[in-house]
């Protein structure tokens, strides 16, 4: 059983993984698809996340993703990851804005 997540006020959870074919970071959307942009990620409450995570992780191979897990975000639009690691995964390298995910369309 997964450890309970303690969210701060104003935080939600999103599901993230890596695309199997190219390793890109993807975010789970409410329609069941995976998207490169965190702004399209479904925001989940802590009490619903365990069931959703189990279902999504069970479908990961079919969906072409690996390493599915949840992570806390500030519940703003677009969601902003809480940890530095997830900020880098969401927005790209910290070395130069040219390499940010948002600039790659």
Q: Which residues contact 104 (CB under 8 A, 6 or more apart)?
A: 92
2 found inside a domain = no
The answer, yes or no, to whether residue 4 has pLDDT greater than 70, is: no
pTM: 0.86
- pLDDT tier at 98, thresholds 50, 70, 90: confident
Q: Rounded CA gap, 28 and 39, in Å? A: 10
How many Å separate Cα 22 from the centre of its chain? Answer: 17
The answer, yes or no, to whether residue 102 has pLDDT greater than 50, is: yes
For strand 25-28 and strand 11-19, is the pairing parallel, antiparallel, or unpaired?
A: antiparallel
Q: What is the mean pLDDT of the chain?
A: 90
6 found inside a domain = no
DSSP of 23-51? --EEEE-TTS-EES-GGGPPPB-HHHHHH
5 found inside a domain = no
What mean pLDDT is predicted for residues 75-99? Answer: 87
The answer, yes or no, to whether residue 104 has pLDDT greater than 60, is: no
Q: Rounded CA gap, 5 and 96, in Å? A: 33
| SS3 state at 28 | strand
Q: What pLDDT score was predicted for residue 94?
A: 73
27 neighbors 35 (Cβ within 8 angstroms)? yes
The answer, yes or no, to whether residue 75 has pLDDT greater than 90, is: yes
3 found inside a domain = no
User: What's the domain count of the chain?
Assistant: 1
- Domain span at residue 66 reads 11-103
**pLDDT tens per residue across span 14-42:** 999 999 999 999 999 999 999 999 999 99
């Amino acid at each position: 059983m997964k450890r309970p997540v303690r969210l701060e006020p104003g935080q939600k959870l999103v599901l993230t993984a890596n695309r199997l074919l190219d390793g890109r970071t993807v975010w789970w959307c409410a329609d069941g698809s995976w998207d490169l942009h965190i702004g399209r990620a479904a925001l989940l409450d802590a009490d619903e996340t365990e069931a959703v995570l189990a279902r999504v992780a069970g479908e990961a191979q079919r969906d072409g993703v690996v390493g599915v897990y949840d992570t806390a975000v500030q519940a703003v639009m677009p969601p902003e990851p809480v940890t530095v690691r997830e900020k880098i995964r969401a927005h790209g390298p910290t070395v130069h804005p040219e390499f940010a995910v948002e600039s790659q369309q």
